[in-house]
Amino acid sequence: MAKRFNITHNSLSRAGITVLLLLAASATVKDAFGERQISKRVRVKRVPSSRAELNLAEIPFKILFETYRETDGRQNWELFQINADGSNPINLTETPEIDEMYAHASADGTKICFVADEGTGRDRLRSVYYMNIDGTERVRVALNARQPCWSPDGKTIAYLKGEYERYSTREYATSELFLYDLQSGEHKPHPNTTLHHIYAICWSPDKRWFLGAVHGSNMGYSDTILAFDADGTRVFDLARWGVKGCRPDISSDGTKMTWGETDWDLCLADIDLSGRSPRVLNVHKVVECRRSQKVYHVDLSPDKKYIVFSYGPWDGGQQVGGKAKGWNLCVSDLTGRWVKITTDGLHYKEPDWVPIRSADPQADESTAGNSGTEQATESQRSL
């Protein structure tokens, strides 16, 4: 309920001046970055716009994603690459007996890290792999591992060990963070051994921080977004800056972040990671959907002009490996206009922008089309 204020005649001048000063301060402020910023209000739409609203063809970046569909007569998860306008979809894996998911491109756009579920029943196992952007030269990083992300220089993959020996699709079934060196094959534990139930991690471009979500753990945090040292033990809850929700993503220059606040809202903000502790400003909603639907897995484009995300019926499973019939990929600018780039609803999830224009895998269809069926190269140093 709105508060009512009674201002007497004698106090009008002082009160009026105070109000005017507060309004002026809120309209133009000097933020944590030392720059003047105008507070923005984005008028969000709760349903997709017409594709004509955005010139998707001008977006130079490709998108990776997972989709559950038929491959050689068998339903499974595959990794695809697509143009930002939804054209030229290419299956990078084509492995009917394996479920590949959670694709993330390296900063130079040459490699992909991902998870693969293999086996059946009690023998089913989720592991972390990486491969070339065209799907060739697959290397296993670690068994019983999940939620991988790249270091800014593409030389290291961070991943989380599975909490249980038994297979689980719970996104937060994680225990401890490890760093895998691609050149040496060494697996190095993170200094903070209390990082339990962390998921959706991303590594800041300056290599000093990780962002990630946490779901109820012995760390003393629950259902919030954390920033923690990449090479230390400090942990900061970003809720103090108005960041609430899960699945954060940070821009390629480390100045913006995006995340899902609820099942129905996606947010954007400025982030400052240059100091001793993170600071977040200008938190605002950029996408909203109806309560009968969900929006998840938001990722910010390399030029910070667009986001891509998953959208579909509320009963779809947002966790890695969760079926989500009717979910499609959407692209939005930062003014609240968002459009579908897929329409067949084949469980489209976990989109990730490829940072640079990738070479067209169709240039050698005989290689790209069958690369996923080749036997994976198993790292001799895999856990």
Tens place of pLDDT for every residue, the chain, 383 residues? Answer: 333 323 233 433 444 434 334 444 444 334 444 443 434 567 788 999 999 999 999 999 999 999 999 999 999 999 999 999 999 999 999 999 999 999 999 999 999 999 999 999 989 999 999 999 999 999 999 999 999 999 999 999 999 999 888 888 887 778 899 999 999 999 999 999 999 999 999 999 999 999 999 987 667 787 899 999 999 999 999 999 999 999 999 999 999 999 999 999 999 999 999 999 999 999 999 999 999 999 999 999 999 999 999 999 999 999 999 999 999 999 999 999 999 999 999 999 999 999 875 445 444 343 333 333 333 333 333 34
Q: Are strands 377-378 and 139-142 parallel, antiparallel or unpaired?
A: parallel
Domains along the sequence of the chain with CATH: 43-378 (2.120.10.30)
